[in-house]
Amino acid sequence: MKGYILNFSEVHTYADQLDMKILFRGEIVMSYKFYSKEEVRDKYIAKGSFYSVEQGYYKGYRNDLHILDRNLVESGLNLTYSKPDILFIMMNPGGSEPINKQINSLTKDNLVKWLLKDNLVDAIPDETQDQIMRIMWNTGAQHSRIINISDIREGSSKKFYPLIKGIEDIHSIFSNERTNELDNVFGNFDSDTFIFKAWGVNENLSFRSLVGQCLKKLSKEANVIGLEKNNDEFLCYHPYSPNPKVLELWFNNAMELIYKEIPEEWFSMLKRKYDKLPSKASNT
């Protein structure tokens, strides 16, 4: 699928509205709401895989993140076998942190092998993840997964981009050394799972090279969408902005894009999938 083309140079007045409606052929066919941070964090939890590397970046790394509806977790479903409804690909984990600050310290020799294991721990949500939670709530998705172009945990883009210049690309799941790990991610899909590109629009050459590796891997995947800048597949708007109006604008346009590009059957599939979940009471 082609990415949706969007001009973010203007913050449209409709971004001031909290309850939005998608119009199609003059008729209202879907409504959606920009839920507050408090609302989404009460409904969803985050679990991530965090690690540090000897002589690596002092803030550490994160190679995987899952956002889960609390009802899904409380149903007793084995999360090891739960397939995500949406996979988001972003720039890097930012300042994302585990609740328990004790994280695994690895050497470069055992890193790749460790990354293949299930190492999820409870994580503290951030504002980027709040955006994903809003998408989930408005679509009915209960499980989203986030991987990044780079695992480096750095919230400042000004500090992040110099870090990746001239270093080995093993910090990226799209590097050749981590092919098995990426294959596991892509292999854990339902047929209707779609991928949302959201790694940002910075044109840093080192980062663009990593994005190129990502796009080569994505060329085999059918259901790929993103809010592209100037129809450039390398530049896909990121969910977070410090400007609240732009934050809502991204969400509004992401919802329109999903409705425009994702088949109606996907929404029906979600309903069938989660209607079958056992209740917590029946699972004990």
Residue 140: inside a domain, yes or no?
A: yes
pLDDT tens digits along 238-255: 999 999 999 999 999 999
pLDDT tens digits along 97-117: 999 988 888 988 899 999 999
Please tell me what DSSP assigns to residue 134.
H
Contact 172, 150 (CB under 8 A): yes
36 has a pLDDT exceeding 60? yes
* pLDDT score, position 122: 95
128 has a pLDDT exceeding 70? yes
Tell me which long-range contacts 158-166 makes (C-beta under 8 A, separation of at least 24): 160/91, 160/92, 161/202, 161/204, 161/206, 161/207, 163/57, 164/204, 164/206, 164/207, 164/210, 165/206, 166/206
* pLDDT score, position 1: 38
Residue 283: inside a domain, yes or no?
A: no
6 has a pLDDT exceeding 50? no
* pLDDT score, position 278: 66
Which element (helix H / strand E) includes 265?
A: helix 264-275
What would the mean pLDDT of 167-183 be, rounded to a whole number? 91
Q: Name which of 159, 48, 180 is nearest 111 in CA terms.
A: 180
Residue 284: inside a domain, yes or no?
A: no
The total of other beta-carbon atoms located within 10 Å of residue 26's CB is 5
Spatial distance between the Cα atoms of 263 and 266, rounded to a whole number of angstroms:
6
* pLDDT score, position 169: 84
Number of domains comprising the chain: 1
206 has a pLDDT exceeding 80? yes
Residue 282: inside a domain, yes or no?
A: no
First CA to last CA across the chain, in angstroms?
Answer: 43
Contact 74, 137 (CB under 8 A): no
More confident residue, 22 or 168: 168
Residue 47: inside a domain, yes or no?
A: yes
Spatial distance between the Cα atoms of 284 and 279, rounded to a whole number of angstroms:
9
Residue 250: inside a domain, yes or no?
A: yes
What would the mean pLDDT of 22-39 be, rounded to a whole number? 70
Q: How confident is the model at residue 68 (pLDDT cuts 50, 70, 90)?
A: very high
What would the mean pLDDT of 264-283 be, rounded to a whole number? 76
Spatial distance between the Cα atoms of 252 and 228, rounded to a whole number of angstroms:
15
Question: In terms of DSSP H, where are the helices of 116-243?
Answer: 127-139, 157-163, 179-187, 205-218
* pLDDT score, position 279: 57
**β-strands 194-198, 86-90 pairing:** parallel
What would the mean pLDDT of 260-277 be, rounded to a whole number? 88
Residue 25: inside a domain, yes or no?
A: yes
17 has a pLDDT exceeding 80? no
More confident residue, 22 or 245: 245
Q: How confident is the model at residue 34 (pLDDT cuts 50, 70, 90)?
A: very high
Q: How confident is the model at residue 7 (pLDDT cuts 50, 70, 90)?
A: very low
**Which domain, by its residues, includes 62?**
4-277
* pLDDT score, position 31: 79
**β-strands 224-229, 232-236 pairing:** antiparallel
282 has a pLDDT exceeding 70? no
283 has a pLDDT exceeding 70? no
* pLDDT score, position 196: 98
Residue 63: inside a domain, yes or no?
A: yes
